[in-house]
Amino acid sequence: MVQPTSASQLYLNFQAAHLKQVHSELLQWYALEQRDLPWRSTHDPYAILVSEMMLQQTQVQRVLPKYEQFLTAFPTIADLAHASTADVISVWVPLGYNMRAVRLQSIARQVMAEFDGRIPDTIEELLTLKGIGRYTAGAIACFAFMKQVAMVDTNIHRVFHRIFLGLNLSEPALTSDQRLCLAEQVLPKGLAYNWNQALMDLGATICTSANPQCARCPLQVNCKAYTELSQYSLFPSGTAMRQLSRVAEKKEPYRKQPFTSTNRYFRGRIVDHLCSVPEGQRIPLTSLGPIIKQDFQDEDLIWLQQLVEKLAKDGLVDFAEDGVRLP
């Protein structure tokens, strides 16, 4: 368990009655309103691993069809480990963030080599798998092995911050250790599976970053942030509630640019096109350029080569003098 660290006494001794009510209300709501998701009908650690990797930075609705397709193509962790990387990427496309497919296969191969094909069931061992962080390790331990462990992603932290900490406008952002400590403090004994799933559903459907649906929230009465905002307005507006996202989800400023002009967009287009090229066939960069970029010019060749070299370094393509192909 993570030990509390001082951040202006953020970690309080929660009133037992309040915490019990939060547990009761949220779990009752989840029993009635839980989303019907295929990875919730299994405790297969491999299937859980696949779902967690796919759900990183990707909406559930986009993951659903690809999850079934991927498990049909690679039904076991051994199948995934022994497959060609080109086949893995081809099945993954067009889910996006294709590096996740390479990382997932790398994890599968490490499990085969170091754990005899058995995904480990402890946080400590799961964290030895390259590409698995504390949240994913917790998800596998909890959802596959029913371990009583806490986990924190952006959605869960937002829910915790609003329910237990409120606005806290004068406090600095919580560290990762502090977030996990809070999650462990409020974890209901013996109910980790439903509790963690309920938190995810609440954060995804009601306690959202923008325009939270407070009127529908089962924890409205027990939400410290809602109570604080109600002091200023009987019915806190969506604009007021969005203050919370700036507290609980501080992000670095970025310069907006059209997605279709980003390197990530063109990286995806390169991989997507290579999936349609006959196996083993290379395509020269001079031919690839006009395919992925409508206004491709000769001076863009250096930029394209740098993109391809980075893709090769990430294990997503095989690049040689005569052109590029899937690995």
The Cα 126–Cα 121 span in angstroms is 7
What's the mean pLDDT in 8-29?
A: 77
Hey, do 16-35+151-248 and 44-143 end up sharing a CATH topology, with the first three levels equal?
no
Buried b vs exposed e over 228-261: b needs ≥16 C-beta within 10 Å? bbeeeeeebeeebbeebbebbeeeeeeeeeeeee
The secondary structure of residue 172, as a DSSP letter, is: P
Helix, strand and coil content of the chain, in percent to the nearest 5, comes to 60, 0, 40
Q: What is the pLDDT of residue 291?
A: 84
Tally of residues, the chain: 327
Give the pLDDT confidence of 110-134 residue by residue, as tens digits: 999 999 999 999 999 999 999 999 9
CATH number 3.10.20.30 given to 16-35+151-248: no
**pLDDT confidence of residue 247:** 46
Q: Is the predicted pLDDT of residue 11 greater than 50, yes or no?
A: no
Confidence of residue 198 (pLDDT cuts 50, 70, 90): very high
Alpha helices in 95-235 (DSSP H): 99-114, 123-126, 134-143, 154-160, 176-185, 192-205, 224-230
Among 145, 157, 168, 241, CA closest to 199:
157
To the question of pTM greater than 0.85 for the whole model, the response is no
Binned at pLDDT 50, 70 and 90, residue 240 comes out as: low
pLDDT of 281 > 90? The answer is no
> If pLDDT is split at 50, 70 and 90, which confidence band does 237 have?
low
Residue 50 class from Cβ within 10 Å (0-12 exposed, 13-18 middle, 19+ buried)?
Answer: buried
CATH of domain 44-143: 1.10.340.30
Average pLDDT for 62-87: 96
Number of alpha carbons in the 13 Å side-chain half-sphere of residue 82: 9
Please give the structure tokens belonging to residue 8: 């202006």
Region at 248 (left for phi over 0; alpha for psi -120 to 50; beta for the rest) = alpha
pLDDT of res. 62: 93
* Three-class secondary structure of residue 109 per DSSP: helix
The answer to whether residue 170 scores a pLDDT higher than 90 is no
Around 31, how many Cα atoms within 13 Å sit in the side-chain half-sphere? 7
**What is the pLDDT averaged over residues 226-230?**
83
Res 174 pLDDT > 50: yes
> Could you state, in order of their start, the residue ranges of all structural domains in the chain?
16-35+151-248, 44-143, 259-322
- 264: which residues sit within 8 A by CB, 6+ positions away? none
Span 176-204, mean pLDDT?
Answer: 93
Provide φ and ψ at 296, rounded to 5°.
Answer: -60, 130
Cα–Cα distance for residue pair 41/47, rounded to 1 Å: 10
- pLDDT for the residue numbered 258: 55
Confidence band for 217, pLDDT divided at 50, 70 and 90: very high
171 is catalytic: no
Catalytic entry in 25, 33, 52, 228: 52
